[in-house]
Amino acid sequence: AQSVSQHNHHVILSEAASLELGCNYSYGGTVNLFWYVQYPGQHLQLLLKYFSGDPLVKGIKGFEAEFIKSKFSFNLRKPSVQWSDTAEYFCAVTATSGTYKYIFGTGTRLKVLA
Amino acid sequence: NAGVMQNPRHLVRRRGQEARLRCSPMKGHSHVYWYRQLPEEGLKFMVYLQKENIIDESGMPKERFSAEFPKEGPSILRIQQVVRGDSAAYFCASSPSFSGFDTGELFFGEGSRLTVL
Considering only CB atoms, which chain A residues are within 8 Å of B108? Answer: 36, 43-45
pLDDT tens profile B1-32? 458 999 999 999 999 999 999 999 998 888 89
Q: Which residue has the higher pLDDT, B111 or A95?
A: B111
A6-9 long-range contacts, CB within 8 A, separation 24+: A6/A89, A6/A90, A6/A91, A6/A105, A6/A106, A6/A107, A6/A108, A6/B42, A8/A108, A9/A106, A9/A107, A9/A108, A9/A109, A9/B40
Nearest chain A residue (CA) to B44:
A104
Nearest chain A residue (CA) to B40:
A106
**SS3 state at B109:** coil
- B 53-82 residues inside an 8 A Cβ radius of A: 55-56, 58-59
User: Cβ–Cβ of A32/B104 closer than 8 Å?
Assistant: yes
- Average pLDDT for A70-83: 96
Give residue B98's pLDDT.
Answer: 58
Using an 8 Å Cβ cutoff, are A75 and A23 in contact?
yes
Chain B interface disruption, residue of A44, A46, A48, most B CBs within 10 A:
A44
pLDDT tens profile B26-40? 988 888 999 999 877
